[in-house]
Structure 1
Amino acid sequence: MNQGVISVSCPLSITIPQGHHKNFKIFKSPKVFNAFTLRSRFIHARRPPICCTQINPWEPAPITFVSENEEDDTFLKRTENIFGSLDADSTTEAPEVETKELVEVETKEVVEVSNQPEVHLQIFKWPMWLLGPSLLLTTGMAPTLWLPMSSVFLGPNVASLLSLIGLDCIYNLGAMLFLLMADACARPKQPIKPLRSEAPFSYQFWNMLANVVGFAIPFIMLYGSGSGLVQPHLPFISLAVLLGPYVLLLSVQILTEMLTWHWRSPVWLVTPIVYEGYRILQLMRGLKLGAELSAPAWTMHTIRGLVCWWVLILGVQLMRVAWFAGIASLSRKQEIVANGS
C-alpha cells in the first residue's frame, strides 16, 4: 500500500469471553465483571493512531544536525570526566585574521560615512580660498600702493606716526582673518585622529633668531644716534616715523607665531610669510619717507640692509615650505603603503 495515503482502520472492538470455571469463583463476582466491562468499553472508545509519512505544507521541515565532516563521527568522546570529552584542539574558533578584516571593513565604512558630510562642508570652505587672499590684498596692498602718501604723512610728527601705525593695524586685521580662514580650511570637521601640527624645535629656533636680529637693528640705530656713535644725528621722532610701525608689526608677528606653536595650528608654516611679505613693503615705504625727511646716508643704508635681510629670510621660508611639503608627501605615501600591507 502506498505510504502517502493515510490509512485509517475501523474502531477496534475487543470481545472478552465470559468463561465459567468451576475452580475459579472470581468470574462470578459482579465487581470483577464490571471492571472488565469498563475496560472493554475504554478500549472500544480508543482510536488507532494515524500513520502518515508526508508533511503538510504549513509544517516546518524537521531540523537534522549532521556534522559537515562525515569522516569525523566523534563529536564527544566518552571519557571518565565530563570535561575531558571537550577537546580544545579540535574545537573550531573564528580566526584572528577574519576578525581583523571585519574590523578594517567596519572602519572603512565608518570613514566613508564620516567623509560624506565632510564633502558637503568642504564646499562651504571653497569661498575662503578666494576670500582670504582678497583680504590681504585689500588691507595691505591697496592702502600702500594707491593711497597718496601726502594724505598719511604730514611731516616728522606724532600724527604721521599714528597714521602709519593705523595702516599697519588694518593689514594686521586682514592677516588675522586670513590665518583664521586658513586654519579652518586645514582642519577637518570630523577628524579620525587628533590633528596636532607641531613645529620642529630647529624651525622655531632659527625663525626666532631671525626675528630677534630684525628687532634689534632699529634699537641699535637708536642707541648709535643718541650716543653720537654715528653722525649725523637723527632725531627720535624721525626714526620712529621710519621704523616705528616696522617694530610694532614685528612684535605682533612674534606673538602670533608663538600662539600658533602653542596651539599647534597648521598655519604655523605660513604665518611668517604673511607678515614678511608686508614687511618688505613697510621698509620700501620707509625709504620713500627717508628721502622726504632728508635722513642721513647711514640710515638709508641700514634700511636697505633690512630690506635685503628680510628678502633673504622670506626666501628661506619658501624653501622650508617646499621641504615640509616633500616630507608630508613622503610620510603620506609611507602611511598608504603601511595600511595596504
Structure 2
Amino acid sequence: MQFHYLRQPLWLLGPLLLLVTGVVPTLWLPISSIFLGPNIASLLSLTGLDCIFNLGATLFLLMADSTARPNKESEGCSSKPPSSYSFWNIIANVAGFIIPSVMFIASQKGLLQPQLPLISWGVLLGPYFLLLLVQLLTEMLTWHWQSPVWLVTPVVYESYRLLQLMRGLKLGAEVGAPSWTVHTLRGLVCCWVLVLGVQLMRVAWYAGFTARAYQQQSAEVGS
C-alpha cells in the first residue's frame, strides 16, 4: 500500500518530464542559438538536443512501467505483444532507415541533382537516424522483458520524430537543401503521421480487447 501511494505522483511527473525534455527545448529554444551552419558543431548540438529528449523518454517509460506493475510483489506482471505487432513495427522502423538512405545514395550517384553535401545531410537527418535506432532498440528490450510499456513506446518516439522532421524542414533553407531533399522530408512527415495514427488505433483496439477479456473473465468467475 505504501508503494501504491508513492506511485501516484508518477502519473503527473512522467508526462511533465516528457514535456520538459522533449517539447520545451525543441519549440522554445531558438535554433540560431545551437545551429551555426552545416558543420560538425551544429550536428553535435542537434544530437545533444535529441539526447535530452531520449533521457526523458527513458525515464518516462521506466515510470510508466512502475505504475503498471501490481501492488503485490507476489503477483507477476508480463505483457507480450502479438508477433504481428512486433513484425510490422520492425518493418516501419527499417523502412524509416531505408527510404532516406536510398535518396541520399541516389544523390551521390548523380541520379538526383543537385547533390547534397554529407555534412548537410547529417545535420538534417543524422539525429533522426540516431533516435530511430534508439527506438528500435528500446522496443526490442520492452518485448524481451515483457514490459507493459511496449504499447506506448513507439507513440512516445514517433511523436517526437515529427518534431525532428519539422525542424529539418526549417533547417533545409539554412543549409541550402535542394528541392528533392525537402520533398523527402515532407514525405517522411506524411509516412510517420500515418504510422503514428496506426499506433494510436492499436492502443484503442488493445484497450477494448482488454476490457472485453476482463468482462468475460468476470462473467466466468460469477457463474
| TM-score between both structures, scaled by the size of structure 1 | 0.64
Amino acid at match of 1:275: Y
Match of 2:207 among 301, 325, 332: 325
- Greater per-residue helix proportion: 2
Q: Distance in 2 between matches of 1:191 and 1:216?
A: 43
Determine if contact 2:4/2:71 at 8 Å carries over to the other structure. Answer: no
Match of 2:46 among 155, 164, 177: 164
Please say if 1:181 is aligned against 2:33. no
Partner residue of 1:140? Answer: 22
**Separation in 2, partners of 1:196, 1:305:** 37
Comparing 138-147 and 242-251, the one that deviates more: 138-147
Following superposition, the deviation at residue 193 of structure 1 comes to 4.2
Partner of 1:125: 7
| Structure 1 segments (4+ residues) deviating >6 Å | none
Give the Cα separation in 2 of the matches to 1:206 and 1:221: 23
Distance 1:157 1:122 in 2: 49
Match of 1:283, SS state, is helix
Shift in Å at residue 191 of structure 1? 5.1
Indicate the SS of the match to 1:232: coil
Higher mean C-alpha deviation, range 271-280 or range 188-197: 188-197
Q: Please give the alpha-carbon distance, in whole angstroms, between the structure 2 residues aligned to 1:335 and 1:121.
A: 27
Please report how far the alpha carbon of residue 215 of structure 1 lies from its aligned counterpart in structure 2 after TM superposition.
1.1
State the one-letter code of the partner of 1:170.
I
Deviations, residues 247-297 of structure 1 (Å, cap 9, x unaligned):
000000000000000000000000000000000000000000001112100
Equivalent in 137, 140, 145 of residue 255 of structure 1: 137
* Corresponding position of 2:91: 209
Residue aligning to 1:339: 221
Partners of 1:191 and 1:315 in 2: CA distance: 35
Residue 194 of structure 1: CA displacement?
Answer: 2.3
Match for residue 59 of structure 1? none
What is the aligned-residue RMSD (CA, Å)?
1.0
SS across alignment from 1:138: helix
CA deviations over 1:215-257 (Å, ceiling 9, x no partner): 1122112211111111111100000000000000000000000
Question: Which of these two proteins has the greater Rg computed from alpha carbons?
Answer: 1
State the match for 1:231 in structure 2.
113
Q: Which amino acid aligns with 2:96?
A: G
Residue 172 of structure 2: aligned partner: 290
Select 2:76's aligned residue among 175, 183, 194: 194
Q: Which runs of 5+ in 1 are unaligned?
A: 1-116
Which range is displaced more, 267-276 or 214-223? 214-223
Alignment of 1:46-61 (within 5 A): none
Task: Give deviations 1:115-172, integer Å, cap 9, x for gaps.
Answer: xx3xx43221111011000010000111111111111100000000000000000000
Match of 1:95 in 2: none
* Unpaired runs of at least 5, structure 2: none
Instruction: Please state if 1:279 is matched with 2:158.
Output: no
Secondary structure of the 1:306 match is helix
The offset of 1:196, in angstroms, is 1.6
SS of the residue corresponding to residue 267 of structure 1 reads helix
Q: Is the partner of 2:67 in helix, strand or coil?
A: helix
Q: Does 1:315 align with 2:197?
A: yes
State the partner residue of 1:150: 32
Tell me how far apart the structure 2 counterparts of residues 318 and 175 of structure 1 sit (CA, whole Å).
18
Cα deviation, residue 213, structure 1 = 0.6
